[in-house]
Amino acid sequence: MPALSVDKFHPGLSVDCVILGFHQNELKALLLKMKKMDKWALPGGFVEKEEDVDKAAVRVLWERTGLKDIFLQQFYLFGDVGREEEGHVEGLVQKGVIDRELAGWLKQRFVTVGYYALVEYSQVEAPQPDYLSESCEWRSLSALPELMLDHGRILEKAHATLKRQLNYQPIGLNLLPRRFTMPELQALYETLLGQKLDRRNFQRKMMGYGILIRTGERRTGGAHKSPWLYEFDEEKYRQSLAGGLNAGW
Amino acid sequence: MPALSVDKFHPGLSVDCVILGFHQNELKALLLKMKKMDKWALPGGFVEKEEDVDKAAVRVLWERTGLKDIFLQQFYLFGDVGREEEGHVEGLVQKGVIDRELAGWLKQRFVTVGYYALVEYSQVEAPQPDYLSESCEWRSLSALPELMLDHGRILEKAHATLKRQLNYQPIGLNLLPRRFTMPELQALYETLLGQKLDRRNFQRKMMGYGILIRTGERRTGGAHKSPWLYEFDEEKYRQSLAGGLNAGW
DNA sequence: CTTTATTGCGTCAAAGTGACACATTAAGTT
DNA sequence: AACTTAATGTGTCACTTTGACGCAATAAAG
């Protein structure tokens, strides 16, 4: 167990990352399985004393999973007392997962900042767990394992935030391969929303946003009629992110 | 100067409240004028070690302004290093505003959680400044005084968040008197958006949401035709808050 | 060559939106 | 008391967006 010098960190402040990917028509989150425990956890960690919180989130994600330079979006601060579970830290000590110094540090009251990111599933190959974890895996949101502390609630809140953003912001640029078909994009939306959409109206609405480019090519190999391949117009995609899709007023 | 026992607080964590009101067709924020300084500040303070952050915000607002039981909405954590200004704390000490103990506490690195609330201007009568401040006043957003630290940025972010929410959530229940006219509601929207709206289309759209009740009465006394008085249907208002106005999908 | 399931494109009615005309009314003016 | 003024209430009309669905084109399998 490497020594973790604890006094370089900002006291009582942590970050937790909800990393969402999309694969086989399922929304998945990247989770760490804690050593010697049956519970799973979001990749999270501490903020250094002279480090921006946003940057800490990026660093922590890298340290704990190997994912590099992910664009993380802050979505909520979880600041209720009682986030901690009675006996949680003692359990870790007794199982030899953490040492006494770290345990003392962990026993203080913590608030945590939630961040989320949407990443392309296939670009994350064999994420590397750190020394606290025995594995790092994609787990389907529809069949989540038991999560430690309030990580279940954090994940839920990230999902809800995402669903709301779908109404006024484009989504998919970091979640899909560079080129994708309309049915694939639709499947992403349907999964995020938990709701079926009409194929034809979806295409019309999506094209109306003007953020998609139809490449001349089709995806072949599957059965039946081969669909067109699309890319995002990154310039216009970013404009839509900033300005919103349905300005409303 | 009352002694402020500093070790009951969570280290390096503060809350700041953006309180917005609407008066004479202007959006105003409640600000504190710091003693012996030309700068103004948002009402803010520290979180106790065994206190929910949300509850701390409510308490702090009460302690610093006298406003009671305001519903505060968390909107962002400001966590960059360099939020602090060089020499800011020393200045306070030299002017005798704070003592050495508080100064030492303040010199650590802080992150702050931003909260906002919309309140009815007229219900806030003579807000009371605390011992750190020499006054507590409504200041128009269009002519803000100089704010200390990054409070200007915090206020700006609250305003932007509000503007975005206007697209999918009803607004006005806590910002207007219980009964109000359609032109008054429209003026609120126009001020928040910084944009003129068509009178007739505004009314149609607003009524379409089904959250307004037209009382049988009119507002008399003004010149010209007297407008109807409306109330919010609080039941439906809350439903719209939860479900969103323009579901989108 | 036929079958089958999927994709692309189009239609149509209903609802929503933006721009505007016109009638109504309360207070001030003459 | 009649007139003027400016704000409010209601309605219209064309255009766009949305929801629901029909039909033809196509890639692979039998």
Q: Which residue is nearest to nucleotide D9 (CA to C1')?
A: B227
For every residue of B167-187, which 3-state class applies, written as one string?
A: CCCCCCCCCCCCCEEHHHHHH
User: Which of A175, A180, A184, A240 shows the shortest CA–CA distance to A211?
Assistant: A240
- Interchain CB contact of A109 with B (< 8 Å): yes
CATH number of A182-243: 1.10.10.10
Give me the mean pLDDT over the A154-165 stretch: 93
Alpha helices in A46-180 (DSSP H): 53-65, 88-94, 100-106, 151-165
Better pLDDT: A130 or B220: B220
Write the DSSP assignment of chain B as a string of letters: -----GGGEEEEEEEEEEEEEEETTEEEEEEEEETTSS-EE-SEEEEETTS-HHHHHHHHHHHHH---S---EEEEEE--TT-SPTTHHHHHHHTTSS-HHHHHHHTS--EEEEEEEE--GGG--SPPP-TTEEEEEEEEGGG---BSTTHHHHHHHHHHHHHHHTTTS---TTTS-SSEEHHHHHHHHHHHHTS---HHHHHHHHHHTT-EEEEEEE--SSSSSPPEEEEE-HHHHHHHHHH-SS---
Q: Is the pLDDT of residue A242 over 90?
A: no
Q: 């994350």: which residue's tokens?
A: A124
The predicted-structure confidence for A14-72, as pLDDT tens digits, reads as follows 999 999 998 888 899 999 998 888 899 999 999 999 999 999 999 999 999 989 988 99
pLDDT for res B247: 63
- Looking at residue A173, its amino acid is L
Element (H, E) at A244: none
- With an 8 Å Cβ cutoff, are B81 and A51 in contact? yes
* pLDDT-above-90 percentage for chain A: 65
Give me the mean pLDDT over the A128-134 stretch: 78
Which residue pairs from A3-8 have beta carbons closer than 8 angstroms and sit at least 24 positions apart in sequence?
A3/A99, A4/A99, A4/A101, A4/A102, A6/A101, A6/A102, A6/A105, A8/A48, A8/A49
Q: 């012996």: which residue's tokens?
A: B36
Q: Show residues of chain B in contact with A76, CB under 8 Å.
A: 74
Lowest mean pLDDT across A125-129, A151-155, A176-180: A125-129
The predicted-structure confidence for B167-219, as pLDDT tens digits, reads as follows 888 999 988 999 999 999 999 999 999 899 999 999 999 999 999 999 999 99
Residue A157: pLDDT band with limits 50, 70, 90: very high
Is the C-beta atom of A207 closer than 7 angstroms to strand D? no
> What does the CA dihedral B243, B155, B160, A154 come to, rounded to 10 degrees?
-50
Lowest mean pLDDT across A77-86, B9-18, B50-59: A77-86
pLDDT for res A81: 95
Assigned token pair, B8: 């009951």
Lowest mean pLDDT across B70-79, B162-171, B210-219: B162-171
Is the C-beta atom of A224 closer than 7 angstroms to strand C? yes
* Average pLDDT in chain B: 91
Give me the mean pLDDT over the A224-239 stretch: 95
Closest chain B residue to A76, measured at CA: B76
CATH architecture for segment(s) B180-243: Orthogonal Bundle (1.10)
pLDDT for res B200: 97
The predicted-structure confidence for A161-181, as pLDDT tens digits, reads as follows 998 888 888 999 988 999 999
Q: Is the pLDDT of residue B227 over 60?
A: yes
DSSP letter for A8, please: G
**Domain definitions of chain A by residue range:** 6-159, 182-243
pLDDT for res A132: 79
- Looking at residue A63, its amino acid is E
Q: Is the pLDDT of residue B1 over 50?
A: no
With 0-12 / 13-18 / 19 or more C-beta atoms within 10 angstroms meaning exposed / middle / buried, residue B22 is: buried
Q: Is the pLDDT of residue A229 over 70?
A: yes
Is the C-beta atom of B200 closer than 7 angstroms to strand D? yes
Assigned token pair, A44: 């999270």
Q: Is the pLDDT of residue B2 over 70?
A: no
Distance A204 CA to D14 C1' (A): 22
Distance A227 CA to D23 C1' (A): 18
Give me the mean pLDDT over the B154-160 stretch: 96
Question: What span, in angstroms and rounded, lies between the C-alpha atoms of B234 and B240?
Answer: 10
User: Which of A166, A201, A167, A169 shows the shortest CA–CA distance to A182?
Assistant: A201
- With an 8 Å Cβ cutoff, are B111 and A10 in contact? yes
Give me the mean pLDDT over the A181-192 stretch: 94
Compute how many other C-beta atoms are within 10 angstroms of the C-beta atom of residue A111: 21
Q: Which fold has domain A6-159?
A: Nucleoside Triphosphate Pyrophosphohydrolase (3.90.79)
- Looking at residue A33, its amino acid is K
Residue B58: pLDDT band with limits 50, 70, 90: very high
pLDDT for res A151: 97
Question: What span, in angstroms and rounded, lies between the C-alpha atoms of B3 and B6?
Answer: 9
Q: Is the pLDDT of residue B242 over 70?
A: yes
Residue A246: pLDDT band with limits 50, 70, 90: confident
Assigned token pair, A19: 């990393």
Which residue from A52, A56, A246 is facing B248, i.e. has the nearest CB? A246
CATH architecture for segment(s) B6-165: Alpha-Beta Complex (3.90)
Strand pairing category for B26-34 and B133-140: antiparallel
Tally of CA atoms within 13 A in the half-sphere of A151 that contains its CB:
26
Assigned token pair, B171: 């607004």
The residues, ordered by sequence, that sit 6+ positions from A243 with a Cβ below 8 Å of its Cβ are none
Whole-complex ipTM: 0.88
Contact in structure between A35 and A141 (CB atoms under 8 Å): no
* Average pLDDT in chain A: 91
pLDDT for res B243: 79
Which residue from B13, B79, B193 is facing A54, i.e. has the nearest CB? B79
Residue A84: pLDDT band with limits 50, 70, 90: confident
B81 φ/ψ sector (left φ>0, alpha ψ -120 to 50, else beta):
beta
Is the C-beta atom of B66 closer than 7 angstroms to strand D? no
Residue A194 three-state SS = coil
Q: Is the pLDDT of residue B3 over 80?
A: no
pLDDT for res B164: 86
Q: Is the pLDDT of residue A83 over 60?
A: yes
- Interchain CB contact of A130 with B (< 8 Å): no
Residue A182: pLDDT band with limits 50, 70, 90: very high
- Interchain CB contact of B226 with A (< 8 Å): no
Which residue from A74, A195, A246 is facing B77, i.e. has the nearest CB? A74
Q: Is the pLDDT of residue B124 over 90?
A: no
pLDDT for res A4: 63
Give me the mean pLDDT over the B65-91 stretch: 91
Strand pairing category for B26-34 and B73-78: unpaired
